Amino acid sequence: MYNGMQMYRAIVTASSSTTGSIYVAIPSVLGANTSIAISTIGRSEKGNGWNVPDVGDQIIVAVEDDKFSNVFWLKTSILNKTDLVYYGGSA
C-alpha cells in the first residue's frame, strides 16, 4: 500500500457486471448521499462479465489520497471447510 492510504467501510450504491463499474457511498467521510466510483485498476473482466458486489453490500475500500483520486475495492474470499482442512486452519 502507498504511504498514507486509508481504508473505509463503504456501501455499494450502483454496480454493473457488464461494464465493471462500481459506485459506493462512504458514510463516515462523504455522508450517505454522495457516491464515488471504484477504480478498475487491478480488476478485469472474466469470461462471463465483471465480478462486482451487489447494490446494498458493504465492502472495504482503500483510498489513495485525501482527494479520493483512486478508490480501490479490497476484495476478500471466503474459505470453505475443505480449505480449512487443507491449510490446517480451524473455524
**Structure confidence at residue 78 as a pLDDT band (50, 70, 90):** low
Would you say residue 24 lies in a domain? yes
Q: Output the domain CATH number for residue 73.
A: 2.40.50
Sign of the Cα pseudo-torsion (57, 60, 64, 65, in order) = positive
Mean pLDDT of 59-71: 87
Would you say residue 1 lies in a domain? no
The count of structural domains within the chain is: 1
pLDDT at residue 24 is higher than 60: yes
Q: Is the pTM of this model over 0.85?
A: no
Higher pLDDT among residues 42 and 78, named by residue:
42
Question: In terms of residue numbers, what domain contains 39?
Answer: 6-87
Q: Exposed (0-12), middle (13-18) or buried (19+): which is 52, by Cβ within 10 Å?
A: buried
SS3 80: coil
